[in-house]
Amino acid sequence: MLQDPLTLYKLIVLYMLDRVSFPLTKAQVGDFIQEKDYTNFFTLQQVISELIDTQLITATTILNRTQLAITDEGRETLRFFGSRISAAIKEDIENYLSEKELALRNEASVSANYYKSTSGEYEARLTAKDRGITLVDITLSVPVKEVAEAVCENWQKKNEAVYQYLVEQLF
> How would DSSP label each residue in 48-63?
HHHHHHTTSEEEEEET
**In which residue ranges of the chain is pLDDT below 50?**
1-2
The range of the structural domain enclosing residue 159 comes to 109-170
> Would strands 122-130 and 110-116 be described as parallel, antiparallel, or unpaired?
antiparallel
CATH number at residue 94: 1.10.10.10
- How many domains does the chain contain in total? 2
Same domain (yes/no): 63, 79:
yes
Same domain (yes/no): 56, 80:
yes
Same domain (yes/no): 99, 20:
yes
What residues contact 105, with CB distance under 8 A and at least 6 apart?
20, 22, 130
Same domain (yes/no): 124, 80:
no
Residue type (1 letter), 119? S
Same domain (yes/no): 103, 21:
yes
Helices 41-53 and 26-35: crossing angle, nearest 10°? 130
pLDDT at 48: 96
State residue 55 phi and psi, 5-degree precision: 60, 35
Same domain (yes/no): 62, 143:
no
Same domain (yes/no): 75, 127:
no
Max intra-chain CA distance, the chain: 59
Separation CA 29–CA 104 (nearest Å): 10
Same domain (yes/no): 136, 119:
yes
Same domain (yes/no): 25, 72:
yes
pLDDT at 63: 62
